[in-house]
Amino acid sequence: MSESNKFISVCLAFFSLYSLVMLMNSCSKSSEQKSIAPREVDNSPATFVGSFTCQSCHTKEYTDWKKSDHFLAMQHAHDSTVLGDFNNTTFIADGITNQFFKKEGKFYINTQGEDGKNHDYEVQYVFGYFPLQQYLIAFPGGRWQSTRVSWNSRDKKWFHQYAGDKIYHHDWLHWTGNSQNWNTMCASCHSTNLQKNYDFKSDNYNTTYNEINVSCESCHGPGSKHIEFINSSDYKAGKHIENSALVYAKNPSPQLQLNTCAPCHARKADLSNEIIRSGEIMDNLIPQIISNEFYFADGQIMDEDYEYGSFTQSKMFHNNVRCSNCHNPHSGKLIAIGNNLCMSCHKPEYNTEQHHFHKINTEGAQCISCHMPVKTYMGVDHRRDHSFRIPRPDQSVVYKTPNTCTSCHKDKSDTWAAEAIKGWYGPATRYHFSDDLLPGSEFSDKSENHLIKLLSDTLQPEIARATAVSYLGNIQTQKSVEALLRALKDNKAMVRYYAVRSLENFPPEVWQSVAYQNLTDKVRAVRIAAADLYHRLPPEAIPASAKNTYAAADAENRKYLNYQTDFAVGNIMVADYELQGGDQLGAIAHYMRGLKKDSLMNYARLNLAAAYNTVGKNPEALKTLKEGVAIDPANDRIFYNLGLLYYEMGDLPSAMESFQKAVRLGSSNTGLYYNYGLLLQQEQKIREAEQVLLKGFGINPQAANINYALAYLYANQNKLPKAKLHAEMLYRIDPNNPEYQGLFRSLGL
């Protein structure tokens, strides 16, 4: 078969969402609870009893908690809880007029609704306290929406969290949209024992909670068993049970405490409302890795990443420092002021001018100024990076990452800062995982070695090694495959999870006889990922010995997917699952449902178009992709898919034009350059084909498809040395691929 005839005919490549797609110690006192009669401890599940039950034994902790942001996380709206100015105040932001007023003792906001017109909305709950307060509005179907126009508690004024951005009423980010839905986006971290109770068929909620705010049992777990035990004769006789029948009580392990804080202090995806009590966080949620999509490429905070992802990068965490070493777990306040907090563990010489080279009692002399840079989210919320990293302006010089030196000394360069640090501390720098993660994130010809080195170093943070695994999924070579297959057996669940996810980018023959072991992984998230990996295979391709374990893991995966369907992305995840399983009509329905919740979600349109294409509805596929172009005319992936679709429909000039636009937009997808190059060859535009393929080669010299196309191009022109150069590279990358054997033989390999 000639190379020009190998153009992809079923052309709309499936675009996986997964490649995009995210306190306390107390309880030792003995005191009889007179309000609850003593009884024997039984094996029934513990139930929630309410924070008021805790106060008689834990008076100080309860008093501290009453002053905390946790206590104030959510409250009913009345005069003592509403901080905003509702005295007939007007605030205009980005073209929208907002009026705040009271009527018959109730609080109202007149603002733009989901129909684009202004309406009066009653405020029934306040959300948060400091540094900002938002307000919850009731909508049909049990929905509660959180306002984007918020009260700045620090400066006592109204403000818009997206100042300067005009957010249209149909936008996902509009306050009436899916992104500001309390039930799915906010509620679980602001109330106790939150049950979302979403009904897919009606698209309605019946959300419940045991306490409106973050109470004792949010962290310690339901308290009924604890009270039974405290009131029992066993306890009074001096007998003890682990954690006094709570999830944890006094002096928990650092990991157990972090696992308790993480569900609300991590950027993550929840797996289910069915909690598994274990020492492994990924039994219940999937934390976001530190990829350069959400973090700076070295791991510094960029997007709203919260604390978990940063803290687990740190030496603090790996030396058994826990949250409560710095924060009073009940009041939420720091346990010491300024550098005194750091000096409770660190040597006094770190608090001297000889270490930090700034005058004492200045901002530059504060440990947190250099080691915990601050970033502002939600307009006014200043949060510090909890990775406690040493500033690396030398990395800023090469990789353009931020550093605390020049973020303060804005008139100086990164080179100046790097030279200053070299002069103070000497030329040698202590190794940090970012020394490998940064070059690894660039996907150059050197990236693979850096990523494999980081992955292999088990002394490095799990989250950094998992990020390296995730990146390796984009480098399709034999070395990457071997590293990923080894990672399937790694001791760390996050590494195993992202190894499975990365294998999605490789042909099934690479992993289908190996990865099935992860279907019975001891950690739920890994089992779910493995089930999703095998779901893309036809049933007969699943090893016979793995069919039962696949069925069990697939059931967990389906539960996980269904749990997300109140959210726009959740519907796309289900649609992806259905498309992979051959249910194109089900996939189309879920893609449409997801787009109804977020009309700007263009990667859903890519897959929706693929589903239409699969069932022979190319006009609908074309219409879908054109809608995507109208929304995002700078999206190279849409133009690439348009080119593929036009080719299949026989419109070669439009295919050529679409491919060309994708190239001009700077696409890094080697599939584009491969297919565009083949089309140019087919049209006898050999010189242009060579230029396009060489551009793809420059983006990824190890891309098998590009080297294959170039080898054939040069072989057909009898430019055998050039052909052999690319064939040899292809041989190193994928020597056993049957499609390449004829080429190898013809060139003497």
What's the whole-number mean pLDDT along residues 385-410?
96
Measured between alpha carbons, how far is 633 from 638 in angstroms, rounded to an integer? 9
Dihedral in degrees, nearest 10, Cα atoms 450, 456, 461, 462: 110
Q: How far apart, in whole angstroms, are the C-alpha atoms of residue 380 and residue 143?
A: 26
* Percentage above 70 pLDDT, the chain: 94
Q: Which residue has the higher pLDDT, 405 or 18?
A: 405
pTM (predicted TM-score): 0.86
Task: With a cut of 90, say whether residue 636 has pLDDT above it.
Answer: yes
Tokens 């029948």 -> residue: 245
User: What b/e readout covers 177-210, taking b as 16+ CB neighbours within 10 angstroms?
Assistant: bbbbbbbbebbbbbbbbbebebeeeebbbebebb
Q: Which amino acid is at 690?
A: E
Q: Is the peptide bond before 721 cis (omega within 30 degrees of 0)?
A: no
Amino acid at 592: M
Structure tokens at 586: 């089900």
Q: One-letter amino acid identity for 621?
A: A
Band of pLDDT at residue 166, cut at 50, 70 and 90: confident
**447-496 tens-digit pLDDT:** 999 999 999 999 999 999 999 999 999 998 899 999 999 999 999 999 99
Instruction: Give mean pLDDT, residues 738-747.
Output: 86
How much is the mean pLDDT over the chain? 91
Cα-based distances in Å from 99 to 118, 570, 636 = 10, 35, 42
Give the pLDDT confidence score for residue 163 in this predicted structure.
Answer: 81
Tokens representing 301 are 């905070």
Q: Specify the pLDDT at position 248.
A: 84
Cα separation, 289 vs 293, whole angstroms: 10
Q: What is the pLDDT of residue 430?
A: 93
Kindly tell me if the per-residue pLDDT of 569 is higher than 60.
yes
Sign of CA dihedral 88, 91, 96, 98: negative
Instruction: State the pLDDT at residue 242.
Output: 84
Going from the C-alpha of 182 to that of each of 65, 125, 205, the distances in angstroms are 23, 11, 11
Residue 41 clears pLDDT 90, i.e. is over it:
no
* 209, 191 contact by CB (below 8 A): yes
DSSP H helices in 488-546: 493-502, 508-511, 524-535
Structure confidence at residue 62 (pLDDT) = 97
* Position 393 pLDDT exceeds 70: yes
Asked if 279 and 293 touch (Cβ cutoff 8 Å), the reply is no
Cα–Cα dist 75/135, whole Å:
10
pLDDT in tens, 708-737: 999 999 998 999 998 889 988 888 888 888
- Which pLDDT score, from 0 to 100, does residue 18 have? 37
Q: Is the pLDDT of residue 28 over 70?
A: no
Residue 228 vs residue 21, higher pLDDT? 228
pLDDT computed for residue 350 by the predictor: 95
**Residue 42's pLDDT band (cuts 50, 70, 90):** low
Q: Please, are residues 395 and 432 in contact by the beta-carbon 8 Å criterion?
A: no
Q: To which residue do tokens 């890795």 refer?
A: 289
Task: Output the pLDDT for position 373.
Answer: 96
pLDDT value at residue 113: 95
